[in-house]
Amino acid sequence: MEKSKKSRNIALEKRQIDAAKLNPAHFAPLYNTYFKAIYIFIFKKVRNEAIAGDITSKVFLKALLNIKKYKHMGFPFSSWLYRIASNEVNLHYRSNNKNTTVELLENDVISLLDEIKHPEDIKTQEMMINALNNLPLPTAELIEMRFFEKLSFKEIGAVLGLKSVTAKIRVYRAIEKLKKQILHDK
């Protein structure tokens, strides 16, 4: 039953995309479906409501202007939006010469600690946060997409322009770097 619901959602999304390609006024359902998730994704990176709102507007404007170029490649439409959002955030930081930050929720840290099989005490959580802050940005973004944004390997691959297998390998390499960083901090 769950599979048929997913198939109906994919079919509905495809019809919405096709309608938006024919008439930009039909982009609204896609906007309404994905706005909140994209805004939160951006807000976690910039930690400023006004800037997040501006960047989110740019993301959806670019998506609207380029919807005719969108081709379904087996990835969810949201992957395309996350890719645009990631590029816009990076452009924002490059133009302002700033470093990115990631807002971590306690549940996110705990689920990541579960993944790397570490105890969930306060000291370990602090070590995790320090380790994440010391990782190179591309490595930290992989962990953020997988564990905080809950993207599948297929979606991560689509955001980064990689095959899902390559995305999976990179995520697990990122986890290994994180483990080493935590051990280094002990």
**Domain termination site, one of 68, 96, 124:** 96
Tokens representing 175 are 């986890």
Which among 118, 176, 186, 119 is positioned nearest to 142, based on CA atoms? 176
- 69 and 34 both lie in a single domain: yes
- 87 and 120 both lie in a single domain: no
Q: ∠ CA(59), CA(63), CA(65), 5° rounding?
A: 115
136: domain CATH number is 1.10.10.10
Condensed to tens digits (0 to 9), the pLDDT of residues 126-169 reads 777 777 777 777 787 888 888 777 788 888 888 888 888 999 99
| pTM for this entry | 0.63
Integer angstrom CA distances of residue 19 from 5, 9, 28, 73, 125? 21, 15, 10, 18, 47
Condensed to tens digits (0 to 9), the pLDDT of residues 6-45 reads 777 888 889 999 999 999 999 999 999 999 999 988 888 8
Sequence-ordered list of residues with C-beta below 8 angstroms from that of 102, at least 6 positions apart, any chain? 44, 45, 132, 140, 144, 148
- 51 and 135 both lie in a single domain: no
Alpha-carbon gap, residue 172 to 90, rounded angstroms: 23
Alpha-carbon gap, residue 65 to 103, rounded angstroms: 30
**Domain termination site, one of 96, 126, 152:** 96
Residue 101 domain-assigned (yes or no): no
Residue 111 domain-assigned (yes or no): yes
13: domain CATH number is 1.10.1740.10
- What residues make up the domain containing 114? 106-185
Instruction: Report the percentage of the chain scoring pLDDT > 90.
Output: 27
Alpha-carbon gap, residue 141 to 138, rounded angstroms: 5
